[in-house]
Structure 1
Amino acid sequence: MSNRIPFSRLTSAAMSHLVQSAGDTLASPFRPMNMSVGKPQVFFDGRPTLKLGDKARGQAVLSGQFTRFGQSLDIGRSGDPWTVAAPSQRFADWLHRFSWMEDLCGLTDKSAPVRARFLIDRWIEIYGDYNAFAWDVDITAERLFYWLSLWSPALSTDSLGDKAASRRAAALRQMKYLRKYYKRTTPGLPRLRAAVSLAIGGLRLQSKSDGYLNRALDWLDDEIELQILPDGAHVSRSPEQTLAAFDMLRVLDDLLDAKDVARSKTMGRAIDRLAPIIAFFQAGDGGLVCFNGAGEGDKKRIAKIIKASNLTNKPFGYCPHSGYQRIAQNGTVLMIDSGSDPSVPFDGQAHLSPLAFELSTAEGRLISSCGWSSEQPQKWHAPMRATAAHSTLVLDDSSTGRIVGGGMKERLFGAVIADGVGPVKAQRKEQIDGIWVVGSHGGYQADYGLSHRRRFYMSPDGHDVRGEDSLYVPLGATPLRRDAIPFAIRFHLHPTVKVTLAQDQKSALLIQAGSVGWRLRTDGGPLSIEPSFYLGYGTRPVKTEQLVIHGAAFGDGDGETRSNRVRWSLTRLEARK
């Protein structure tokens, strides 16, 4: 802490509390009445950050086309989105966060930063004083992150007739607002982003009379301790949120280095842990595995971040704190969710998916879950968190826990997990002849008296993947019932995979892109092909298929009889000529 620049606190006009505009249709619990910032501030430019924007999306924004959630807003090359009706509230929320500016500023076209400045200046003219919706604390924190991280060279010009002074004043007004209401940000990634945004703002300020940086870095250390697990994953257990946390800290770290300000030990340890876990969460095609509120992501962006991190070691095998097992052999990647529920309040997007797995290769994804994407329709989010939306065993067509849905509890706490899957245990053994992972969970024990055990194996060449699912009464427990309980072992197929079922309903042929074949066999059954959906990318669910092994387990079984145990295998076939 002693190496940080010693800023003192700004004198600012007080912001009134719990006042809102009568004209606001989307009310806020607080409203600033006086956001004076005094004399114009000078902002430090530093070096530009790593460009990660998507060129196609940036070109669309440059031409006036904003697209998100399957909705579009066309404002033309000289218009702005602030004076026309947005397609939806969700779309408006995205517009005001300015994440699209990363794509626009990623272009080499000289008109791109000019356009970015215009769009920001127009926002300031209309919303710069205050608006209940646009100044929501979470939205403000994200908007500041993109404004301030992309300040140089897009926004910092002081050329004749430019509104740079107004831009700086608007940024400072929002910093003062966010600092005052920081604790009202949503716990989790939004609050981490708020601390990062304020720290970047403190670094941008040239004046040494402003108390933003030290306080923001202290807040950031507190959030890192809460949110970044010792194995490097975000506490939500989401690969996507883990990537977002690393990306934010990476941007701040670059600016700290440019300003010659030492990062804290807490931040340094977090970055060191976060960097290698991004590669850990990669599927065989370079995207992210789709667990706990994560979609495939932007593969090019992920590759750029990993390259910039200068990682040289191959991904490790397991994450003991977040609860994931990764088996990778010869380009075949098997990822297993062997973790328990995240703690409250970080479980708002957590899935009920104990011992679910995804299998992918360099040719693409083979076995997946139903996926997840923030761009997908919100009505699909709850079903995608259910156990049946994952490649695992589902007992009696019920989930291994319960998610809060509707009512006062959801309004207060969000769609958090009400009844969890219970502890999930896993062991790993690496040998010359292959790698084994054995896991178990008691998510069905309270209702059915049975625990689920799952074994995985992968051969050294990655061409032989085997599994075994068993349902058993735990040692010392009393069976709750003795009748047969139906179960289904689900293998959701990625939309790029084609499947053909054998006549005996004991095996199926799976063909990946590039005509690579895999054979799934089972000693249980019958095996059937059923419809499924995939939401791992895009703005609309994609129809796909799933292979399902049906059976019935006795409530007093020990997991060793044919009724309560099913074995299956996936074997890679010779590539077709």
Structure 2
Amino acid sequence: MTDTPDAEAIDPQALDGVEEGKRLIRLGGDTGLSLAERLSERFQRLTWRTPIHTMRLRGRYPLKLIAVPGDPVIGDIKRGQALLAGTVSFQGEHHALDALDFGRRDWSRPFADYVHSFAWLRDLSTVATRPQGAPIAERLLARWLDAYSDKVDALAWRPDLWGRRILFWTSHAPLILSSTDLVYRSSVLNTLARGARHLDRGADKAAPGSRRIAAWCGVVAAGLLIPGGDPRKSFGEAGLARALAGGLSDDGGAVSRSPAMLLDAIMLLAMLRETYAARRLELPDPVQAALARMVPALLGTTHGDRALASWQGGGPATADRVAAVIEASGVRTRPLRQARDWGYQRLAAGSAVLIVDAAPPPVARLVESGCASTLAFEFSDGTARLIVNCGGSQAASTQLPKKIIGGLRTTAAHSTLIVGDSNSTAIHPDGTLGRGVAEVELSRQESAAASRIEASHDGYVRRWGFVHRRQLMLTGDGRELRGEDALLPSGRKRKAPTTPFAIRFHLGARVEASATADGLAAILRVPGGALWQFRCRGGMLTIDDSLWIDGQGRPIATQQLVVVGEAAAGGASVSWALKRAA
């Protein structure tokens, strides 16, 4: 992937195109963090416990905030109601408020991040008045202060969590600063100032992408809202510009290639935008330019139901959440159809939407739970999703077995071709991505009659000696999708006489499949009454069980169409078609 130039130098409209035959190559290797980088990160955290770092956190403490911004995004009503009822809930994990111990280390990572970031303040404020919510918020915050106000902890003081904490504490100050207890109020403001000083030195140590963006948003917000913060504001704006340049591709996508993470980054910038507005200031041009690129890229991965597609560990964030974040961003635009480094190609015709992953997986060092999904696609008709990916390894309920959550990252959990039941890009036992897809060749042609995408990847060349080529054509009325998957001999790998392969088409929730007697076709009954016919040639069709992670992180039992066959040394080809029958 190419380096990202300065945000203000980019014309978003000029990016809506891909040259035919353009090669998208993953640069920088496929390794994760080096040993030296891991040691440096660990050493950095160890320095947090030293007297020197404690001295760095000292300084003048604020008596009040200069302004109180609003939170432009509505929270989750169910989670807010659970808080009122005495329970903290997130992604299937539940803990009673009265027994909540911030010192525990057995929480799942998503739940711990939710609690320590204080994102739950948004959910609480959505359903509670100040008299209802303030006692709950202040009680939990007081416990957190008892545990961590003077203790720099590797988790609780993680830079990205401090960035989010500053945004949520300041946006929901009426809930946490309503107390008449002056000692408590002073402790909150003093800890806020200490956290800002911690970020001054640690924001750039956060992982690239939304974490580093979160950390620098916290620095800027502190500079805007804590008295005497003008130097920090300027320093933070420069750091945020760097974080955006390193965390976004040229076309506005996240370097993690995760739509869910891009949605999160837009949400952070929307909160920061509200912070500037509270001071009657405009968002800096580089940040506004970044938002202008990010929103079209995000919309390019939404279906007809306006919810996200499931890519790179993210689940199908609900249409309401996507709409709320985009409205808060202040950007009004159309979906990006032809991405470059972001990698998602979008075809829309009639009521149909096709989204294709036409790029290598993200570089291992830039993502914690990347997926081997190259050349997979999702397909929807109106609000009904016909073909999906299982998705959601990051968004799934924490109560799911780890084996299933890990399986959601595999090639087999995506709607694409799998050779020998292996991944197109290796997934190591520690969760990092290994060798596999290094290059994707892509061409795209469009006309009034039909739109066509042809792409190939080299993920199976090293082990199996085949390139996977996928051709997709969507008719102009959106009523027919034709495809061909081919395995083409490549490389010096000596091939076995036959190599097994399977092409998986995971079906959306409540899509019912019925196979025909010849084993070459199936009828798909879609919610809402529509019928689609699937036919294939070059392999045998079977129907198997599958699952899909919904917008709430819950596993939904579904089905999948599986076309199986064997490739000779000279390769193989399977053609198939999805056609709306009624």
1:270 and 1:351 mapped to 2: Cα distance?
25
Q: Which amino acid aligns with 1:543?
A: A
Q: In the superposition, relative to structure 1, how do residues 362 and 29 fare at CA in structure 2: closer, same or farther (>3 Å)?
A: farther
Deviation at 1:138, TM superposition (A): 4.2
Q: Deviations over 1:175-233 (max 9, x none)?
A: 1223233343233321221111111111111335x642222211111111111111111
Give the SS at the match of 2:434. Answer: strand
Instruction: Quote how far apart the aligned CAs of 1:554 are.
Output: 1.6
Q: What secondary structure, in the 3-state scheme, does the structure 1 residue paired with 2:194 have?
A: helix
> Is the contact made by 2:337 and 2:346 (CA closer than 8 Å) also made in structure 1?
yes
Find out whether 1:464 has 2:488 as its counterpart: no
Match of 2:190 in 1: 169
Aligned letter for 2:385?
A: R
Unaligned 5+ segments in structure 2 are 1-39
Please give the secondary structure, in 2, of the residue aligned with 1:417.
coil
How far 1:28 sits from its partner (Å)? 5.9
Q: How does 1:249-260 map to 2 (within 5 A)?
A: 249-260=269-280
For the pair 1:204 / 2:225, whether they are aligned, the reply is: yes
Instruction: Report the AA paired with residue 505 of structure 2.
Output: F
Percent identical pairs in the alignment equals: 28
Distance 1:92 1:308, change over 3 A: closer
Output the TM-score relative to the length of structure 1: 0.85
1:358 to 350, 353, 378: 378
Matches within 5 A, 1:466-481: 466-474=482-490, 480-481=494-495
Q: Which amino acid in the other structure matches residue 465 of structure 1?
A: L
1:386 is matched with 410
1:418: Cα distance to partner?
1.7
The 5 A counterparts of 1:285-434 are 285-309=305-329, 312-372=332-392, 373-376=394-397, 377=400, 378-406=402-430, 415-434=431-450
Q: SS of 2:336's equivalent?
A: coil
CA distance in 1, matches of 2:191, 2:180: 18
Inter-partner Cα distance in structure 1 for 2:530 and 2:263:
30
Partners in 2 of 1:198 and 1:165 — Cα distance? Answer: 20
Match of 1:14?
Answer: none
Query: Cα gap change, 1:386/1:50 in structure 2, threshold over 3 Å: closer, same or farther?
Result: same
Q: Secondary structure at the match of 1:319?
A: coil
Structure with more contact order per residue of length (Cα contacts < 8 Å, sep ≥ 6): 2
Corresponding residue SS for 1:226: helix
- Alpha-carbon separation, structure 2, partners of 1:167 and 1:349: 35
CA RMSD of aligned residues (A): 2.7
Is the Cα contact below 8 Å between 2:69 and 2:171 reproduced in 1? no
CA contact (8 A) 2:369 2:432 kept: yes
Look at both structures and tell me which one has the larger radius of gyration over its CA atoms.
1
One-letter code aligned to 1:192: I
Match of 1:453 in 2: 469
Q: Aligned in 2, Cα 1:482/1:137: closer, same or farther, shift over 3 Å? A: closer
Distance in structure 1 (CA, Å) of the matches to 2:404 and 2:133 = 35
1:224 pairs with 2:240: no
1:4 is matched with which residue? none
Q: 1:30 aligns with which of 21, 28, 48?
A: 48
Q: Is the 8 A contact 2:315 2:553 kept in 1?
A: no
Cα gap change, 1:143 to 1:321, in 2 (>3 Å)? closer
Which one of 132, 136, 141 corresponds to residue 115 of structure 1?
136
- Normalized per residue, the structure richer in helix is 2
Q: Deviations over 1:156-182 (max 9, x none)?
A: 547676843332112111112232333
Is 1:490 paired with 2:476? no
Alignment CA distance shift 1:207-1:478 (3 Å): closer
The alignment covers a number of residue pairs equal to 531
Please tell me whether residue 235 in structure 1 is matched to residue 255 in structure 2: yes
Q: Mark the runs of 5 or more structure 1 residues left unpaired by the alignment.
A: 1-17, 21-26, 407-414, 558-563
Q: Which amino acid aligns with 2:141?
A: I
Residue 547 of structure 2 corresponds to 533
CA distance in 2, matches of 1:188, 1:338: 21
- The aligned counterpart of 2:82 is 60
Give SS of 1:116's match: helix
Please tell me whether the aligned partners of residues 148 and 197 of structure 1 are also in contact (alpha carbons under 8 angstroms).
no
CA contact (8 A) 1:427 1:437 kept: yes
Q: Deviations 1:402-448 (Å, cap 9, x if unpaired)?
A: 12224xxxxxxxx3222031211211111010111111111111222
Tell whether the 8 Å contact from 2:522 to 2:534 is kept in structure 1 after alignment.
yes
Q: CA distance change for structure 1 residues 503 and 274 in 2, over 3 Å: closer, same or farther?
A: same
What SS class does the counterpart of residue 429 from structure 2 fall into? coil
Q: CA distance change for structure 1 residues 555 and 266 in 2, over 3 Å: closer, same or farther?
A: farther
> 2:576 aligned to 558, 561, 568, which one?
568
> What is the letter of the counterpart of residue 30 of structure 1?
W
Deviations 1:272-306 (A, max 9, x none): 10122222111222211111121111321111223
Question: Residue deviations 1:437-462, cap 9 Å, x none?
Answer: 11111111122221111111111221
